[in-house]
A and B are shown apart, each in its own frame.
Chain A
Amino acid sequence: MKKMVRSVLLLSLAALMMLGASACGGKQAAADLDVKAVMEDMLAKHPIENGMELGESDMLNFYGIPAEDMEAFAADLAADGITANEIVLVKAKDEDSAKEVETKLQNRLDARRNELNGYLPDQYAIVEKSEVKRDGVYVRLIISPEQDALVELYNSYLNG
C-alpha cells in the first residue's frame, strides 16, 4: 500500500513537472513574433543615428545570411562603420537555418569586437556587452548603448 501511494505521488509529481515545463517553454506567442514590427518599436524608442535599413542582398553581403535561410528579417545599423549601433532580428525558416544564422551573426559580433578593440575604446565597450541569442527559429544580434532596454523590449515580444 505504501509503495502504491509512493508510486502515485511520484507519478503525479512527474506529471506536474511536465506540465510546468510545457508551461515555461515553446510558447505559442514566439511563433507569432513579427520581427519587423519589433524593429519598428525598437527604433521608435531608441533610434540609430545615421542608421541604414538593410535589404535582402545586404543581409548576404554584410552577414553572409542568404534569403533562403530567412522567413523574415529586420536589420538596421549605423552607416558610418565606426559607431557600435546595430540591430539584426531574424526569423529563420527552420531550426537548422537558425543555427546557421546564429553562427554568421556570431562571426559578425566577433569581427566587430576585433575591429574596435584598442581602436575606439568607447565603441568596443558597447560591443563587449553584446551577444547573439537564439530562441528556436528566432535569432537576434543587438549591439547598442541601449543594450539592456532593447533586450528587455525584444524579450517582451518573444515571451508574449
Chain B
Amino acid sequence: MLIQQVVAFLLAGVLMTGGTAGGDLQDVPQDSWAYSYVSYIVEHDVMSTTKTGYFLGEVQINRGDFILSLWRAAGSPAGGSVDFSDVKQEDACYEALAWATQQGICQDITGDAFSPAAYLNREEACAFLWRALPAFGVEPREGQSGGLSGFEDVDAVSSWALDAVGDLYARGIISGTSDTQFSPAGPVTRNEAAAMLYKTLELAGKIEGEEKPSVPTSTVPEDEWSWFDDAVFVGDSVSLKLTGYVTKTRQSDPDYLGKAQFLTAGSLGSGNALWEVSDKSVHPLYQGTKMRLEDSVQACGAKKMYILLGMNDIGLYGVEDSVKNMETLLGLIKEKTPDLQIFVQSATPIHKGNEKKVLNNANLRLYNEQLQEMCQRNGYYYVDIASVLTDGEGYLPDAYCSDASGMGMHFTDEACRIWVDYLKQDAAARQAG
C-alpha cells in the first residue's frame, strides 16, 4: 500500500509536469514492467487510455471495469441478461455483466447487487478470470492450490477462490505480491489487470497474429473537467479550503473542476448532519438557506456527490459509530436523490505532532477501511484521496499542512492541487474503463 501511495503520488507529479512515456502511452514508460502488457491490451481495445493517452496504470480497478475488460478480451460476446439491482442498461459494463452472468462468472454474488463501483481485490480477480477461462478455450483446473504453500498468508485465501488462485498461480497468470505473501485481499491496479488479461490471451494462444478480440471503443470525455459539472462536494473545514481554492482558481481557469458546487461547513460531521436544522446546527447553507444535507444535495441538482467527513466525528463517536452515522446519512441523501452517484472520499491524515488521543492517524486509517467496506455494501464509490496526501510515515506532509501550529489537519494550496488532480485521474480512469 505504501509503494502504491508513493507511485500514485509520483504518477500525479508526472501528469502535472507533462510526463514522459514511450509511444502513445503517456504514463507507461517502455522500460516499465507493465509496458508490453498494457500496450498490447490498449492496442487491441481491451482497455483504454484517456483521450490524452494516459493509462493510469496505478489506479485501482473496480469490479465493473474488470468484467468489462474481461468481456472485451473474450471477444465481446453477446447474450445473457443482468439481474443486478445496481446495474442499469445504460451502464458501460451492462453487456459485459450480462455475458458474465450467463457464463456463471459472477455466480457467488450474494444479494442482488453486483457493486460495480467497488474495488476489486486479487482473489476476486482470480475467481472471475478463472471462471471465464472456457470463453478463451482454456479448461480451468481444480485442486492446484498446493502450489501456494510457500505463501505465509495462503490461509487468508477464501475457500471459494482457492481453486482459481491456485490454478492461475500455477499457470503464471498471477504471482505473489512478494516471495512470502500472496495478499488475496490486496488491490488490483489497472496495470496488473492488463497483465493478467494479456497472460490469459497468451495462454489461450491468442497473441501474435492469432484471433484478436473485436471490442467497441470506449467513450472518453474530450473535456477533462466535464465529469464534475454535475458534482457537489460535501464536507467540513478541510473541504472549506477546497471550496476557496477552487473558487480562486476558477478566476483564472473558469473550467477548473467543471461546474462542481460545494456544500461545506466548518465543524460538519456525519453525526451533526443528522440533527434537525436549528439556530445552532452547522448544516451548510445552500444559496443562503440552511438545510439538511439530503435537502441541499437535492436542491442543487447534483448527480454526483463527493463527500469527505470524519474529522468532526471520530473524536466524538469513535470509528465504528462514525461509519454508522455516515452510512445513515448517505442513505437519507440517496433516498431523496435516488440517481445520485456517491463518491466517499477517504479521510485524510493529521500532521506529525498534532494527533489527539482518539482523533489520530491509526483511527483514521481504521475509519477508512470501514468506510470502504461500507461503500462495497451499498454500491458507493470509494475514492482514496488519502493515498496521495500521506507521507511515508502516515502523516499529512509538512508541505500540505497549513496549520501545523494549530489543528494540523487543514490544507495548503498545494495539497488542494494534488487532491483535485487525483480526482481528475480517478474520474478519467472510471470513464476509460
A residues sitting closer than 8 Å to B (CB atoms) are 52-55, 58, 60-61, 63-65, 77-82, 103-104, 107-108, 110-111, 114-120
* Interface check B69, CB cutoff 8 A: no
Is B265 within 8 A of A115, CB to CB? yes
Question: Do B279 and A81 touch (CB < 8 A)?
Answer: no
By a CB distance below 8 angstroms, the chain A residues around B267 are 114-119
User: In the complex where A61-B261, A114-B267, A119-B266 touch, is A81 in contact with B241 (Cβ < 8 A)?
Assistant: yes
Q: Which among A79, A111, A115, A119 is the interface contact of B244 at CB below 8 angstroms?
A: A79
Q: Which residues on B sit within 8 Å (CB–CB) of A77?
A: 244
A78 nearest CB neighbor, chain B only: B244
Chain A positions within 8 Å of B287 at CB level: 60-61, 63-64
**Contacting pair B266 A115 (CB below 8 A):** yes
B34 to chain A, nearest CB (A): 39
A153 CB, min distance to chain B CBs, angstroms: 25
Given contacts A52-B248, A107-B290, contact A81 B237 (CB under 8 A): yes
Asked, given contacts A81-B244, A81-B264, A82-B237, whether A111 binds B251 with beta carbons under 8 Å apart, the answer is no
Contacting pair B247 A111 (CB below 8 A): no
Within 8 A of A (CB), among B16-72: none
User: Considering only CB atoms, which chain A residue lies closest to B259 in the complex?
Assistant: A57
Given contacts A107-B290, A114-B282, contact A58 B243 (CB under 8 A): no
How many Å from the CB of A102 to the closest CB on chain B? 11
A81 contacts B289, C-beta separation under 8 Å? no
The residues of A that contact B290 with a CB separation of less than 8 Å are 107, 111
Report how far A53 CA is from B47 CA in the complex, Å: 44
8 Å CB contact of A52 from B244, B262, B281, B286: B244
A20 to B252 alpha-carbon distance, docked (Å): 51
Report the separation of the CA atoms of residues A141 and B264 in the bound assembly, to the nearest whole angstrom.
Answer: 20
CB–CB B280/A63 < 8 A: no
Contact pick for B245, options A63, A79, A110, CB 8 Å: A79
The 7 closest A-B pairs by CB, nearest first: A64-B288, A81-B240, A79-B244, A115-B266, A64-B287, A104-B288, A52-B248
Kindly report which residue of chain B lies nearest to residue A65, judged by CB atoms: B288
The answer, among A54, A79, A108, for a CB contact under 8 Å with B285, is A108
- Inter-chain contact B285/A64, CB cutoff 8 Å: yes
Q: Is the CB of B288 within 8 A of A82?
A: no
Q: A85 vs B10: C-alpha distance in the bound complex, in angstroms? A: 36
Chain B 226-256 interface mask (CB, 8 Å, partner A; 1/0)? 0000000000010011011101100100000
Interface centre among A60, A103, A114, A117 (most CB of B within 10 A): A114
Residue with the greatest number of chain B CB neighbours at <10 A, chosen from A78, A103, A111: A111
* A108 and B287 alpha carbons, distance in the complex (Å): 10
How many angstroms between the C-alpha atoms of A120 and B265 in the bound complex? 13
What sequence of 0s and 1s flags, for each residue 207-243 of chain B, a beta carbon within 8 Å of any chain A beta carbon? 0000000000000000000000000000001001101
Q: Does B410 belong to the interface (CB within 8 Å)?
A: yes
Given contacts A111-B265, A115-B265, A115-B266, contact A81 B243 (CB under 8 A): yes
Cross-chain pairs A/B with CB under 8 angstroms, 24 sampled: A52-B251, A53-B251, A55-B251, A60-B287, A63-B287, A63-B288, A79-B247, A80-B240, A80-B402, A81-B237, A81-B244, A81-B266, A82-B240, A103-B288, A107-B285, A107-B289, A111-B265, A111-B285, A114-B280, A114-B281, A115-B266, A115-B282, A117-B267, A120-B406
When distances are taken between beta carbons in the complex, the residues of chain B under 8 Å from A55 are 251
A80 with B266: CB separation less than 8 A: no
Q: Given the complex of chains A and B, what is the CA–CA distance between A39 and B403 in angstroms?
A: 28
A118 to B237, CA, bound (A): 14
- Which residues on A sit within 8 Å (CB–CB) of B265? 111, 115
Known interface pairs A61-B262, A80-B244, A80-B402. Does A110 touch B288 (Cβ–Cβ under 8 Å)?
no
Complex: chain B residue closest to A101, CB-CB: B288
> Which residue of chain A lies nearest to B235 when distances are taken between CB atoms in the complex?
A81
For A107, give the chain B residue with the smallest CB separation: B288
Q: Which residues of B contact A116 (CB under 8 A)?
A: 266-267
Taking CB atoms and an 8 Å cut-off, the chain B residues in 265-292 that contact chain A are 265-268, 279-282, 284-290
A22 and B29 CA atoms in complex are apart in Å by 79
A64 contact from B251, B279, B289, Cβ within 8 A: B289
- A66 to nearest B CB, angstroms? 8
CA distance A58 to B246 in the complex (A): 11
Which residues of B in the span 354-371 have a Cβ within 8 Å of any Cβ on A? none
A80-B410 in contact given A115-B265, A116-B266 (Cβ < 8 Å): yes
Known contacts A64-B285, A77-B244, A107-B289, then 12 further A-B pairs from the complex at CB < 8 Å, ordered by chain A residue: A61-B261, A64-B288, A79-B241, A79-B245, A79-B247, A81-B243, A81-B244, A107-B285, A111-B265, A114-B282, A115-B268, A115-B282
Query: In the complex, what distance in Å separates the CA atom of A148 from the CA atom of B44?
Result: 69
Q: Tell me the nearest residue of chain B to A115, going by C-beta.
A: B266
CB closest residue in chain B, given A100 = B288
- B239 CB to closest chain A CB, in angstroms? 8
Nearest chain B CB to A111's CB is how many angstroms away? 6
User: Closest CB-CB distance, B413 to chain A, in whole Å?
Assistant: 8
